[in-house]
Amino acid sequence: AQKVTQAQTEISVVEKEDVTLDCVYETRDTTYYLFWYKQPPSGELVFLIRRNSFDEQNEISGRYSWNFQKSTSSFNFTITASQVVDSAVYFCALSENNQGGKLIFGQGTELSVKP
């Protein structure tokens, strides 16, 4: 069975601090996809990244970076020099190759960045 766990329910940091959001997943598939989405207070889901199971290379996009480690089934997300606009709920999600693209979401981590 597939499962995504985001153990941190809420995180509060002060602006300019670095913050890491944890994501641990479970799957029996060898081919799968991992995602991160941002959900600001307005509610829409903002796509951040998709990573397939064969690509363990870490990725950096501006202040965002992702650390994918198959050995620990983790796909952690780090925001460097956080800003108030980063305040949102962040979801990690898993899609198995044989599931036609439907996503299993983690519980979400609510990040609050204070000025």
Partner 1 sequence: GAVVSQHPSRVICKSGTSVKIECRSLDFQATTMFWYRQFPKKSLMLMATSNEGSKATYEQGVEKDKFLINHASLTLSTLTVTSAHPEDSSFYICSARPRLTGELFFGEGSRLTVL
List residues near partner 1 by CB under 8 A: 33, 35, 37, 43-45, 47, 50, 91, 95, 100-108, 110
Beta carbon of residue 105, minimum distance to partner 1 (angstroms, whole number)? 5
Residue 75: both structure tokens together: 């796909």
Whichever of 2 and 74 has its CB closer to partner 1, that residue is: 2
In angstroms, rounded to a whole number, what is the distance separating the alpha carbons of residues 91 and 88? 10
Whichever of 42 and 71 has its CB closer to partner 1, that residue is: 42
Q: Residue 107 CB: number of other CB atoms within 10 A?
A: 14
Whichever of 79 and 108 has its CB closer to partner 1, that residue is: 108
Is residue 78 a contact partner of residue 12, using CB atoms and an 8 Å limit? no
